Structure 1
Amino acid sequence: MKIAVASGKGGTGKTSISASLVLARPRVLAIDLDVEEPNLSILLGCAETEALSVTMPSAKIDGSACISCGTCAKACVYGAIAWLGGGIPVINGSLCRGCGLCSRVCPPGAIFEEEQAVGEVRSGKCGGISFLEGRLRVGSVNTVHVIGETVKKAETLGASDWVMDCPPGTACPVAASLRHADMALLVTEPTPFGRSDLEGMLELTADMRIPSALVINKTGIGNVPLEDLCRRFGTEILARFPFSRSAAECGARGESPFKTDAGWAETTRSLWSEIERRFS
């Protein structure tokens, strides 16, 4: 089973839940797809042992062959090519998605592509836990590409059970992560912001036809009802983790509360049972 742990907003405890699920079942493959801020390995206590560079093509212009027609700039749907009506167009490498369209439409064939590094896929193992981590290169915007390459690497490892720590929000990086999941475990909190962002996540998983279930974290810091959303989207609340100072202190130290909080660990084991009851 491939479980995507996601949340509509940051700060709900998504990574803490992901790490706890992995620690409760060390045989699963832990995958950090929050490539802009990967930290699952920290909570697992793992260190990277191998890094594989992630590259993608980026357009370049041979100025000596360019005829300054502007065809490439007009064709680029990402706005990565600037042309002011004369001279050689300028390519913004940070906006280029490597689609290759500009090189195909260039009349004199003055545009070519070069591979450029946009991130890494890091891997490691500790205490019987295998993990992968996608990491976006500083300054790169190609989040989805790094996520895709991380998933490709995971598929070569032969593990049947995954726990994927997804990016927060409801944008393209989240959709790219959810695409590989058998179910989405949505982590939220009983606050106005938590409810609003959860609704967006439920709409996304419904549109993508991915079965979902909820985990309510930090119960006690708010009393915003979520049951009506569950009824509307046909989902269930599988677990509730109370707000606790000890869990917050663990996070501040870069540790998982699963290792130090007996109540948290027991709730995590019960959560696994509920996941298997509903989705196996």
Structure 2
Amino acid sequence: MKIKFKLLTMAILSTVILTACGNTPTTDNSLTDIKAKKELVVGLDDNFPPMGFRDKSGQIVGFDIDMAKEVGKRMGVKVTFKPVEWDGIILSLNNKDIDLIWNGLTITDKRKEQIAFSKVYVQNKQIIIVNNKSTISKKNALTDKTVGLQLGSSSETALAKDVALSKSVKEIKKYSNNTEALLDLNAGRIDAVVVDEVVGRYYVSKKTGMYKVLNENLGVEDYGVGIRKNDTALTTEINKQLEAIKKDGTSNTISKKWFGKDIIYK
């Protein structure tokens, strides 16, 4: 009897220790918590037009801003936008400083190791922009040239994947945002900028005669909403609402407002 009692006591203690060490599954309260506080905090680079940027009055506006607001409205929560340095935005998400990354976030294998993603809602290309007076017409003409891009962006990844091109350029200059890179391009301090097509073409359209886009690009990529890996309930809800606004045409209306056409991934 003493032996059996001793064994039982040891078994109970083992269970308690394992539980304390976190070996039991944790409950996903992500969606419940957001609905309880009635707020969804979205992290973004607020200098990333037309996805998310500040207008003349200082308000954060843009395509992804309107998309997030619509999803938040249907979830019954207020959406708060929190500007974060782009190269540290995944850390901010995993530290729970923000609930989502919704800002032209490219789905990559490296990022998949760190966070989860919603379903694809936009497809994008990495394009090369040069000064309108530049003689550069093909990417192989960038040999011994200085190329600018945003630090921590998918443009950086796309250029690195094109090994021949990245090795041939004189310098890769990294900026905190695309606006700075394009201003340096216009000033002649760099020779080209690699940037997301949705962003680059928006800039080009606003600066008539200042820039031109090369016909060649550095590949197609998918945009998704960044979510913490354990927040499966929130991921399901975001996917549900994205599908709903796609089906009823709301996303089409938002897309045409910012791009003049429907760019939503079908």
User: Taking structure 2 as the reference length, what is the TM-score of the superposition?
Assistant: 0.29
Larger radius of gyration: 2
Which structure has the highest helix share of the two? 2
